[in-house]
């Protein structure tokens, strides 16, 4: 009881006095994080320095799989054609792809009409702003691809574009929840993207040997 009544002064409780605190030179947190990142990167590169290109890709995949957790695609995704429209020299399809139960990936597939009787190469373009923003900001580049005989696929993987959460449910909340569950949002998005590629490979109008990625 007597101990609970005894109160120590603020100066007595201080482990670092203001004078000592002022003399300590501290690094900003972002510099500490930068140095840690550079040291980890240097160590990782040194471990892989003697690997050939095939072994390097294999090791990177193995390590990233452990970090991202969920990356394997759905080999036979369910899809639904919502509509198809003709544009100048191209046809646009709006397709809904089900990556897994309860998860859909809306996408546009733009195919050049000049090559309607043969499989065409396809560029899968993804951006944080979604397919609508991509169409708005990169319309000239997309038009050049179409005129060159290359198709374009614009998917909205989970949390992006049409599937983005509203202002009350930010992506950070979902990302944090996935981490709590032992998964990652980036891993889920990679799974969605790989599932889109699996779907494209199943189409007879796509040159499956020439599928490229465009990240913006």
Average pLDDT value over all residues in the chain: 89
DSSP conformational letter for 144: H
214, β-bridge pairs:
125
The pLDDT of 170-196, averaged and rounded, is: 85
Sheet of strand 78-87, all strands in order from the earlier edge strand to the far edge = 78-87, 90-100, 103-112, 151-155, 120-126, 206-215
Nearest to 125 by CA among 112, 109, 113: 109
- Cα–Cα distance, 88 to 106 (Å, whole number): 23
Cα distance between residue 120 and residue 203, in whole Å: 10
pTM score = 0.76
DSSP H or E segment with residue 93: strand 90-100
Contact 178, 185 (CB under 8 A): yes
| The pLDDT value given to residue 70 | 83
pLDDT, one tens digit per residue, over 111-169 is: 999 888 899 999 999 998 899 989 999 999 999 999 999 999 999 999 888 888 775 55
Torsion of CA 74, 80, 84, 90, to 10 degrees: 10
Q: What's phi and psi for 105, nearest 5 deg?
A: -125, 100
């Amino acid at each position: 009881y007597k101990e609970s009544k005894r109160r120590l002064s603020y100066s007595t409780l201080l482990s670092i006095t203001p004078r000592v605190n002022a003399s300590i030179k501290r690094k900003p947190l972002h510099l500490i994080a930068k140095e840690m990142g550079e040291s980890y990167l240097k160590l990782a590169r040194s471990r892989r320095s003697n690997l050939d290109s095939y072994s390097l890709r294999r090791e990177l995949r193995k390590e990233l799989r452990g970090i991202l957790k969920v990356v394997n695609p759905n080999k036979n995704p369910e899809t639904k054609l919502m509509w198809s429209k003709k544009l100048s020299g191209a046809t646009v399809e709006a397709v809904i792809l089900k990556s897994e139960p309860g998860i859909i990936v809306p996408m546009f597939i733009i195919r050049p009409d000049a090559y309607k009787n043969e499989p065409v190469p396809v560029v899968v373009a993804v951006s944080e702003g979604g397919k609508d923003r991509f169409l708005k900001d990169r319309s000239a580049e997309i038009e050049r691809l179409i005129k060159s005989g290359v198709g374009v696929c614009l998917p909205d993987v989970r949390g992006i574009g049409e599937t983005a959460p509203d202002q009350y449910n930010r992506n950070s909340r979902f990302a944090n929840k996935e981490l709590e569950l032992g998964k990652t949002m980036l891993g889920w998005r990679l799974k969605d993207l790989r599932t889109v590629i699996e779907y494209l490979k199943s189409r007879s109008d796509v040159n499956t040997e020439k599928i490229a990625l465009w990240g913006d």
